[in-house]
Each structure stands twice: as structure tokens, then as C-alpha cells.
A and B are shown apart, each in its own frame.
Chain A
Amino acid sequence: MLENAITITNVTKRFDDFVALQEINLEVKKGELVCFLGPSGCGKTTLLRIIAGLEECDKGEIIQHGKVITHLPPSKRDYGIVFQSYALFPNLSVAKNIGYGLKKQDIEKKAAKKRVKELLALVGLSGSEEKYPSELSGGQQQRVAFARAIATNPSLLLLDEPLSALDARVREHLRQEIRELQKNLGITTIMVTHDQEEALSIADKIVVMNHGIIEQIGTPLEIYHHPNSLFVADFIGKINLLSAVYKGSGYFQVGQLRFKVDILPTNEPSLEKKIKLLVRPEDIKLHYETYEEVNIIEGDVLKVTFLGSFCRVLMSVRGLLKDSLLIDLPHKALVKGTIQEGSLLKLCIAPSDVCYFMDEENA
């Protein structure tokens, strides 16, 4: 088993009456890239700042490589940080920015110079030593901030929404670059983001947060396919949500329809229990494309939205009174011209593609 780089136990933080973090427990393994994901105000940045020592927690303990760092000032901790604003010192050149933390560690100035050169090469900005931050593009500034953060060879890298100030194309490119650099350096990294796509695409582990608590910790695949709360399911990706009642043996009554769902023996609902069923739009298939025998539904197309690589179809389903369904279909289905507003579709859902949650609100 891999060594823990960071262990967080029962960390709680309040701002006056507002509970920013409640009883947070989390382990980050060495060399992992962990994303804190959640809506604004969920506490993800506060948690990062507590790990950085920029905020102090009211309760709990933080251990880094076996050493308790809970009350250490930032300067005594071992990490590098990149902020959303990059926080590059505007009055210092790129070289001086990157070398800002090197100071006496490198006794010879030559060594510092060499290190700066190395780092600039690493982030693909060789030769920019004497430029000022304002002379660089947003993406380049971000690279400089990254280089500065790893200049002192920290064992931990903290990234606070490092990409959200960039435009979409640069962002997508840079996040892959960050991921590669992080893998090559083998540096444990925690990144805060509110962008689910970003988290899904580069994280080893995602920590989904909401209202100061951790909703779920898991790999991107686990989080996406097996969300363990409605919040996680709703926050990541698109979902269809159906109110259902459990009828036993894996069958749920939804309106006038019956759905077969793969039930975990450990988590079987009691009979007649009110349940929410969850299906991702891309898991609903056209019937003639599959060989499913169960969960076959029919419905009328209400609206078709073209979304580039696929189409999102809104349907009213026969037998469901109020719930309509969103379905993502590949292009070719539309090209045939069989799907347009008003057309009748026959669809099916695999029992393994449906998640179920106890219906807390209507229990």
C-alpha cells in the first residue's frame, strides 16, 4: 500500500456562525492527484487553505508524511501553491518570481539561476527570464506560477482553481500538461476546482464536497457511475431522476411502468419504500441497438437539441405522468431522419445502468 502524504482527521472550521468545514476526514496517497470538487461555498478552498496553513482549523489534525502540521505557519510547511489569480509579483521578472523562494537554500547564485532555467524549460517557457508577468499571456503566466510553486522541490503541490481564469481551449490543453508534469515529477497534488470535467479528466481521486462535508471520495469512474448520494449524481454529469416505489425482487414501480434494477444485496430497500431512480441520459439506448428484454419504454420526442458530438432529446414517456426523460443519442441516429419532434421512439435501459437512492424528501 502506498504511503499517506496527507492525513486529515476531523477537521472543522467555522467563520462566525457559518460552518465552513465539518468533521473532514481524508487521506491523500503519495504521488496522487486529488481534486476537491464542489459548488462555490462548499468549503473546498477553505480545506485547501487549511492544508496550506493560510487558515487555521478550529478542530482536528493534519499530518503530512507522519508529522503533525496542524498549527505550523505556512513557512514551516512543505508545499508549493498556485492560485487562481496566479499571484505573480508584477514588479518582479519571471526569473525573480520563480527564484523568489530559493533564497538561501541555494548558496550560490549560479545554482539558483540554473534551477530557474531548468524550471522554465520544464514548463516550456525557456528564454522568458527577463520578461515581466504583464508581458505574458494568461496561459504563460499560469506556467510561471506553476514553475514557481515547484521551484523549491516541495513534496506537495496545492492548486486553487488554477485554470478557471483561462479560456476553454487553453484550459483543456493546460490541464493535460499539468497532469503530465505532475506524473513525471511524482509530486502529490491537491487541486481545487468547480469544473467537473476538469476533475474527471485528470484526477486519480475526486473528493466531492457540499456544505462543508465530504459527499463522496472515489476515482472519477466510481464517482460518475456509482454516485452514493443524489447530490453527487446531480453535480456530476446530467441525470434523469424518477420517483419510484420498491416492489421487491429488484422491481420498482414508476408511474404505470415497472423497472428492473440491479440491487445490491447489502442495500436493498424495504417493500413499498419510496425511492429515487437515477439514469444518465447516455445510458438510455434505442431499443433496436440493444438486446435488452427488460425496461423497454416508449415515448414521444418533445425536443431535439444539437450539442455537437451528440444530440440531447427530451421525451415524454408513455406511462409516466409528469416525468419527462433526457436522452443523449449519437448523431447517426438523427442522420437517418427517424428522430424529430413528434416521432415515436422505443428505448431501453439496462438494469445495471440505474442507480437508486432512498427518497429523503418524500420519505
Chain B
Amino acid sequence: MRSIWHDSNKIILMVVMGLLLLILGIIIFLPLIEILQKSFYAHAGSFVFLDNFIAYLREPRALSLIYNSLFISCVVTIIIVPIAFIFAYALMRSCLPFKPLFRYLALIPLLAPSLLPAISFVYLFGNQGMLKSWMGDGSIYGVWGIVLGECFYVFPHVLMILLSALSLSDARLYEAAQSMGANGVKKFFTITLPSVKYGLVSAVLVSFTLVITDFGVPKVIGGDFAVLATEIYKQVIGQQNFELGATVGVLLLIPSVITFIADGIVQKKQKSVLGAKFVLYKPKPSGLFDNIMLLFSSTVVGLLLMILSVSIFASFMKFWPYDLSLVLKHYDFNSMDGGGWDSYFNSIRLAFWSAFLGTILVFVTAYVVERGKVLSSLRSIIKFLALLPMAVPGLVLGLGYIFFFNNPQNPLHGIYQSMAILVACTIAHFFTTSYITAVTTIKQIDQEFDDVAESMGIAFYKTFFKVTVPIAIPSILEIGRYFFVNAMTTVSAVVFLYAPQTTLASVAVLNMDDAGDISSAAAMSSLIVATSVGVTLLFNFVSHYLVFATQKWRKS
């Protein structure tokens, strides 16, 4: 009845959708199916359903791992959410000076591998730490090292959620409250807190999930204190016990999936809070409050920068902390374990290809899901696949890739141990956040542009390139930057997938640290941070330049 086949535009669109489905299916869906399957099968290959889990949970060691993981995640969440909240509050609700600077500096941990704070804490409080005496009889290796390192690592993630939650407040509510004589405390508890409650829930869940699935920090500074994430690593890399790795991996999937679902609910509720006519809240100067906020924010940023710079400085010291003369010998990676300078250049290649291909894939996916007018059921499936990676910790994804691609019967077996599999895995791992950015941007672009163009007989893909992409350029660049930086810093998924000829910088950090070569680990971390900062500045520069060059039509 419907004459789809008479309409070349729809055919093109359907071919694109088919391709997307194929690609996303391979890089996201099938590896996940594979790991779920593995966790439900015994070593011999017979279906045992939950037996693997039950058997695992019977071990006393398993219970202590789970307890440890939960404990660390809770403690970090309890510490970091209030700190991030106050920081976000200072940025959004006080007249703090240099706000953009504070914001950029607070997000700096995003540019570092999660191993870096752990290395810094080892330098500060470790066996040869500068401030070891502060620890008294205690040791940084274990709970407190992990907690401190994780706080550094999750702070910017939590902060971003709370910043966007706090930006949603409607100024008119505050004016109405003020006119009714409400004081600051009352306004905070009756307007501010209710309006950010969904954001707070999100922040707590994200913090919890990030900590429980991270293995970089506990690996470096955890000492004997084992958690689930390090256990997977040990089982798979150390003992080649893939089945047990899969079982533990699926356990880690549980909190991630809960967070994912809860976040979906929270997002829906958050939308209804926003009215159509919305007046942005502008804080008024208030001496004492602003000064307290300045002191607080400076302290937080100061600590972040200090943790970051300890590793950087130490990487140039001859022998921390005893001989502080400046040397470059720790950067002579070729003479150490971990793959040498090649691993750094491999990382650059990985980051480049992930950014290039990932951005195209993400933007096209978002466009098709939002604007493709055919086969809405297929669009829903693509959308589901695009959102799925958010619910999957990197370790689990990496394991899934091993199971899926290392199977000799898989026609794609050839890409195993190549750069291609690392690129695919990295794109899949960081797909959802980029996808959401792209969707937000495309939603802001009037649907009627497409309608008008179509009515003039211009094919949708021409309008896509002539109108949609130029308008969305800043956000496309941001997606590219996000992929690049994350590809540089990530360890969790790729640690299972690199081969001798495709060692990566972030993995090299891990291996150097493992080999006891902490100075080189710090040096490589510093190099990663420097690259991420450089790339971020470059992307921002290009973006600003393009916005400037097109400001004639961009001004609203």
C-alpha cells in the first residue's frame, strides 16, 4: 500500500538504517550477548543458568569482594556527592569570580587516566611517600588510597550532573518566595533542593557505579584490598579463567543496569519540571557567602591540581623523593616494559580513529533515530542499542569482545588483536554519552527545515550536509574531542584486547606500575594528560574559530 519503493529517499534511509543496525549489533549487542551466555554456561559448555553465580557466591572470598566493592563505592559517594554539590552550587548560585576557570579546572580529572590519582597518592603517602609520616601507623595501600583516588576520578562526572541539575532552577520561583518573605534557608529547602532532587539521585547512582566498576585505582593503590573489578582483571589476565571473569563481570553489570534504568526514569521526571516559559536564575552578590564559596572552590581545585601535578613533577625527578634533580630518563619508555613509545603512538592512532569514525557513527545514528521517518520499530531498536553501552562497564564490554571476536568461527575473527578491534570497542564503550549530546543538538534543530527542504524536492541527505551538519558543528567537534580524550585515558575495556603490536599508553601505565616502575608510569600518565589537554585546547580553538567565522548567522 505505502509506496516506499517508489521513493528513493526512503530507500537510502533504510539502507543507512540497516547498516547502522549491523554495525551497532556487532560492536555493542553481540559481544554482550556472548558474555551473558558465557556466564550462564559451565566450562564444558552445558547450560547451567544461575549455577555459576551461586557457586561463586558460596565462596567466602566472593562475599568479601562484594562487601569491599560496596563499601568503597558507598564511602566515595558519601564523600564526593556533597563536595561536588557545594562546588556546583558555588558555580551556579554564587557570584564566584573566574567561574569559567573554576569550571575548566574542576573538570581536569576527565583528561587523566584513572590510574593517575592513585600514582600521585603513592608518591605522597606511599612507602616512599613525601608525606608518609602523616599516615601514622596506617597505610595508603588499601581502603583509604582507593577512596581518595576514586574521589579524584569521579568528582568531575558527578559535578557535571549537578551543574546541569542546578541550572534548571526557575528564577521566578525564587522571586515569588522572596516576595512572600522566605529567607535563604527556607528557599534552599523548599525550592532548590526539590528542584535538584532528581539530579542528586543521578549523581549518587553514577558515583556508585563508576567506583564499583573502576579497576584502575584499586589496581595501583589497593594493596591487598581486593574488589570485584580487580578480581575480573586477575582472573582473566592472571589466570586465564574467562568463565569466572564473565560471572564476576555480570555481577558488576547489576549496579550499572540499575543506574541506567533509574537514570532513565529520573530523566523523564526532570523534563516535566521544566515549564515552557523559564527564566534563568541569576545570583546576586553576597559578600560573606561568595567568600566562603570562593574559599571552598579554591580548596577543591587546589587539591585536584596538586594531585595532578604530583605525578607530573615526580615524572621529571631523578629519584622521588630523595633526589629531586630534573631528568627526562623516565620518559625513555623504550627501555622499559609496557611497549615503549610505540604504545603512546598507538594510543594516538586509536584516539584519532575513534574520534573520526565514532563521531560520524554517533551523529548519523542520532540523526536517523530522531529524523528518519520510516520503520519506527527499527528506529527504536537502533535507539536501544545506542543507549545500551551506558549500562555496561568497560571491563564487561572488553570481556564480551574477547568472547565474541576470539571465536574462530566468527567471520570477524580476523580483527582480533588488531587496532580495529580497539577502535570498535572504544567507540562502543563511549557511544551513549556522545549519542545523547548529538540527540540534544539535533532536537534543537527545527524539524521543519527537513520538511521545507523535502517539499522543495531536495533529498534529505543534501539538507543533512548543507544545513544540519553546519549548524551542529560545535557539538560534532565536542563529540570528537570526547572520543579522543576517552580513547587516550581509558584502560578498562581495552586492557583485555591489546596485542603486543597494539599496546596502548594507558595500559602501559598499568604495566609499568605492575613492574614497579612507578616513575615511568607517572611519566606516561603525564604524557596522556598533556595530550588530552592539548587536544582539548585544539578542538576548542577550532570550534571557537568556526563559530566566530560563522557568527554572522549564529547570533540569535
The A/B interface has a contact count, at CB < 8 Å, of 86
Q: Are B457 and A101 interface neighbours, CB within 8 A?
A: yes
A145, closest chain B residue (CB): B452
Q: What is the size category of the interface that chain B forms with chain A?
A: 20 to 34
Interface status of A325 (Cβ within 8 A of chain B): no
Cβ contact of B471, chosen from A71, A90, A152, cutoff 8 A: A90
A77 CA / B10 CA spacing, docked (Å): 15
Q: Interface code A75-108, partner B: CB below 8 Å = 1, 0 otherwise?
A: 1110111010101011110000000110100000
Cβ–Cβ < 8 Å partners of B449 in chain A: 87, 89
Q: Are B446 and A87 interface neighbours, CB within 8 A?
A: yes
Q: Are A72 and B455 interface neighbours, CB within 8 A?
A: no
Cβ–Cβ < 8 Å partners of B6 in chain A: 73
- The smallest C-beta distance from B122 to any residue of chain A, in angstroms, reads 51
Q: Are B458 and A73 interface neighbours, CB within 8 A?
A: no
B467, closest chain A residue (CB): A89
- The smallest C-beta distance from B325 to any residue of chain A, in angstroms, reads 56
A135 CA / B9 CA spacing, docked (Å): 33
Binds A, one of B74-82, B185-193, B271-279, B547-555: B547-555
In the complex, which residues 365-415 of chain B have their Cβ closer than 8 Å to any Cβ of chain A? none
Given contacts A75-B9, A132-B552, whether A81 and B470 have CB atoms under 8 Å apart is no
In the complex, which residues 466-502 of chain B have their Cβ closer than 8 Å to any Cβ of chain A? 466-467, 470-471
Cβ–Cβ < 8 Å partners of B555 in chain A: 134
Given contacts A87-B446, A91-B550, A134-B555, whether A54 and B471 have CB atoms under 8 Å apart is no
Cβ–Cβ < 8 Å partners of A77 in chain B: 455
Interface status of B454 (Cβ within 8 A of chain A): yes
Cβ–Cβ < 8 Å partners of B448 in chain A: 83, 85, 87
Q: Are B446 and A85 interface neighbours, CB within 8 A?
A: yes
- The smallest C-beta distance from B238 to any residue of chain A, in angstroms, reads 54
Cβ–Cβ < 8 Å partners of A227 in chain B: none
A89, closest chain B residue (CB): B467
A102 CA / B553 CA spacing, docked (Å): 22
Interface status of A74 (Cβ within 8 A of chain B): yes
- The smallest C-beta distance from B246 to any residue of chain A, in angstroms, reads 41
Pick from B452, B457, B467, B553 the residue with the most CB of A within 10 Å: B452
Interface status of A281 (Cβ within 8 A of chain B): no
In the complex, which residues 453-469 of chain B have their Cβ closer than 8 Å to any Cβ of chain A? 453-459, 466-467
Cβ–Cβ < 8 Å partners of B451 in chain A: 52, 54, 74, 81, 83, 87
A52 CA / B457 CA spacing, docked (Å): 12
Cβ–Cβ < 8 Å partners of A148 in chain B: 452, 456
Cβ–Cβ < 8 Å partners of B284 in chain A: none
Q: Are B455 and A74 interface neighbours, CB within 8 A?
A: yes
Q: Are B550 and A56 interface neighbours, CB within 8 A?
A: no
A86, closest chain B residue (CB): B448
Cβ–Cβ < 8 Å partners of B3 in chain A: 71-72
- The smallest C-beta distance from B468 to any residue of chain A, in angstroms, reads 10
Cβ–Cβ < 8 Å partners of A43 in chain B: none
Interface status of B1 (Cβ within 8 A of chain A): yes
Q: Are A75 and B459 interface neighbours, CB within 8 A?
A: yes
B451, closest chain A residue (CB): A54
Cβ–Cβ < 8 Å partners of B452 in chain A: 81, 83, 87, 148
In the complex, which residues 114-160 of chain A have their Cβ closer than 8 Å to any Cβ of chain B? 132-135, 148, 151-152, 158
- The smallest C-beta distance from B293 to any residue of chain A, in angstroms, reads 37
Q: Are B455 and A91 interface neighbours, CB within 8 A?
A: no
Cβ–Cβ < 8 Å partners of B552 in chain A: 132, 134-135
Q: Are B1 and A74 interface neighbours, CB within 8 A?
A: no
Q: Are B553 and A75 interface neighbours, CB within 8 A?
A: no
A77, closest chain B residue (CB): B455
A79 CA / B454 CA spacing, docked (Å): 11
- The smallest C-beta distance from B271 to any residue of chain A, in angstroms, reads 20
Q: Are A75 and B454 interface neighbours, CB within 8 A?
A: yes
Interface status of B59 (Cβ within 8 A of chain A): no
A151 CA / B451 CA spacing, docked (Å): 16
Q: Are B457 and A132 interface neighbours, CB within 8 A?
A: no
Cβ–Cβ < 8 Å partners of A56 in chain B: 2
Interface status of B179 (Cβ within 8 A of chain A): no
Q: Are B553 and A90 interface neighbours, CB within 8 A?
A: yes
- The smallest C-beta distance from B458 to any residue of chain A, in angstroms, reads 6
Given contacts A72-B3, A85-B446, A134-B553, whether A92 and B466 have CB atoms under 8 Å apart is yes
A87, closest chain B residue (CB): B448
Interface status of B7 (Cβ within 8 A of chain A): yes
In the complex, which residues 55-79 of chain A have their Cβ closer than 8 Å to any Cβ of chain B? 56, 71-77, 79
- The smallest C-beta distance from A96 to any residue of chain B, in angstroms, reads 9
Q: Are A152 and B456 interface neighbours, CB within 8 A?
A: yes
Q: Are B553 and A133 interface neighbours, CB within 8 A?
A: yes
In the complex, which residues 514-556 of chain B have their Cβ closer than 8 Å to any Cβ of chain A? 550, 552-556
In the complex, which residues 1-48 of chain B have their Cβ closer than 8 Å to any Cβ of chain A? 1-3, 6-7, 9-10
Q: Are A73 and B454 interface neighbours, CB within 8 A?
A: yes
- The smallest C-beta distance from A128 to any residue of chain B, in angstroms, reads 14
A92 CA / B462 CA spacing, docked (Å): 13
Cβ–Cβ < 8 Å partners of B456 in chain A: 75, 80, 100-101, 148, 151-152
A91 CA / B556 CA spacing, docked (Å): 12
- The smallest C-beta distance from B252 to any residue of chain A, in angstroms, reads 38
- The smallest C-beta distance from A303 to any residue of chain B, in angstroms, reads 31
A38 CA / B550 CA spacing, docked (Å): 41
- The smallest C-beta distance from B374 to any residue of chain A, in angstroms, reads 11
Given contacts A74-B451, A81-B451, A90-B553, whether A103 and B458 have CB atoms under 8 Å apart is yes
Cβ–Cβ < 8 Å partners of B458 in chain A: 75, 100-101, 103
A91 CA / B457 CA spacing, docked (Å): 20
Cβ–Cβ < 8 Å partners of B453 in chain A: 100-101
A54, closest chain B residue (CB): B451
Q: Interface code B420-461, partner A: CB below 8 Å = 1, 0 otherwise?
A: 000000000000000000000000001011011111111100
Q: Are A80 and B553 interface neighbours, CB within 8 A?
A: no
Cβ–Cβ < 8 Å partners of A54 in chain B: 451, 454-455
A83, closest chain B residue (CB): B448
Cβ contact of B7, chosen from A73, A92, A103, cutoff 8 A: A73
Given contacts A56-B2, A89-B449, whether A132 and B553 have CB atoms under 8 Å apart is yes
Cβ–Cβ < 8 Å partners of A90 in chain B: 471, 553-554
Cβ–Cβ < 8 Å partners of B459 in chain A: 75
Cβ–Cβ < 8 Å partners of A79 in chain B: 455
Pick from B448, B455, B458, B552 the residue with the most CB of A within 10 Å: B455
Q: Are B553 and A91 interface neighbours, CB within 8 A?
A: yes
B2, closest chain A residue (CB): A71
Cβ–Cβ < 8 Å partners of B454 in chain A: 53-54, 73-75
Cβ–Cβ < 8 Å partners of A92 in chain B: 466-467, 553
Given A74-B454, A74-B457, A83-B451, list of 20 further CB < 8 A pairs? A52-B455, A53-B454, A54-B454, A54-B455, A71-B1, A74-B451, A75-B456, A75-B459, A81-B452, A81-B455, A83-B448, A85-B446, A91-B467, A91-B470, A91-B550, A132-B553, A134-B552, A148-B452, A151-B456, A152-B457
10 pairs, CB–CB < 8 Å, chain A vs chain B: A53-B454, A54-B454, A73-B6, A75-B454, A79-B455, A87-B452, A89-B467, A91-B550, A132-B552, A134-B556
Chain A to chain B: the 3 pairs with minimum beta-carbon distance, closest first: A101-B456, A87-B448, A132-B553
Q: Residues of A with Cβ closer than 8 Å to B?
A: 52-54, 56, 71-77, 79-81, 83, 85, 87, 89-92, 100-101, 103, 132-135, 148, 151-152, 158
